[in-house]
Amino acid sequence: MPPFLLFSIVTEFSAYDDFSKVYETWFPLLYRIVYRMTAREDISEEVVQEAFIKYYERRDVLPKDEGLKFWLIRVVRNLALNYEKRKGRERRAVERHYHEPKLDLGHEGERSVERKETIQEVQHALLQLPYNLRIVLILKEYAGFAYAEIGKMLGITEGNVKVRVFRARNQLAQLLGEERS
Amino acid sequence: MKTDHFLISAHVDHEVEPPWDQVVEQKIATDPQWKEEWERQKFIHEKLAQLADPESLEKARETVRLRLEALRSTPRASRHFDLNWVGLAAAAAVFGLVVGGFGFWLGRQTTGASVAEVHVQLPSGYTVPLNGNSQLIKMTSFEGGNR
């Protein structure tokens, strides 16, 4: 086997090994973010897959560690936003959510039923939030980022993140109150 | 809503640094409006925490991994091969069209200048001097002048 071919194969394997590590590390976080943004499993899979394809193709020029994390989140955020624009934003997402098959509550106890209702209500209310508020709240609540990090990811100031988190929770409280009533 | 109310949600997220966290805590303890807002923010924070990871996460991780594996088995270059060639062919076609068009135009211009149609009125009874091969005998300007 010619040395250059061997080198190429070794490089490819090593690159894929790196890719696998990145994939295993960041997949759950990215999936969680997109799922909370869209409440759609198929779209979440599609978006995260697209993000990793982009990463694989540009991995040579992308930053490592923290920088990579921010880059991946920016990519999924943009892809999720594109999805939302394409599908007519929140209204359709909410309609789809309502048309989704209801949870099978057959053998659950009352407490569990209540809990599932609550979960559905919260997810539903989350989808009704404007995109700019929703993404900030999701990055805070489900990705556990600090305000400063979220600001860096979204290209806004830390103060702005603070304001958006506050407003998002306030609006959610209103939405949940409406649903309850 | 006052600007400093935004500190309430930051406090719920433990994002207020000392000594301001103490100030916010004191305000929550003494001001009913602040307390109400803090309870609302905390309630939503806790509600959101109830949403656990989607059950589909592990399945999705495996599905996407397999799809990416399949994509990787297609050589990287070949995925862009067709597109590259289409681009190259299109560029070559445009270039050919531009160069060809220019050449055609230039050719027409040049032909018009070099080939001229000359109408000459000859005296009646003039016979064209031909040689044995029916070719026109070239005359000098002097001969032409005499005639």
Q: What is the pLDDT of residues B21-50, one digit of tens each?
A: 888 888 889 989 889 999 999 999 998 888
- B66 and chain A: CB distance < 8 Å anywhere? no
The domain locations on chain A are 1-100, 110-181
Q: In chain B, what residues touch A41 (CB-CB under 8 Å)?
A: 54, 56, 60
Say yes or no to pLDDT of A155 above 70: yes
Answer yes or no: are the C-beta atoms of B65 and A28 closer than 8 Å.
no
Global ipTM: 0.71
Q: CB distance B15–A162 less than 8 Å? A: yes
Question: A179 falls in which pLDDT band (50, 70, 90)?
Answer: low
CB A22 within 8 A of CB A128: no
In the CATH scheme, what architecture does the domain A1-100 have?
Orthogonal Bundle (1.10)
Residues of chain A numbered 9-38 and touching chain B (CB < 8 Å): 16, 23, 27-28, 31-32, 35-36
Go through chain B and tell me how many residues it has. Answer: 147
The confidence score (pLDDT) of residue A97 equals: 60
d(CA A155, CA A5): 43
Average pLDDT over residues B107-128: 73
CATH architecture of A110-181: Orthogonal Bundle (1.10)
Mean pLDDT of B99-122: 78
Q: Give chain A's length.
A: 181
> Does B65 contact chain A (CB < 8 Å)?
yes
Rounded Cα distance, A46 and B68, in Å:
11
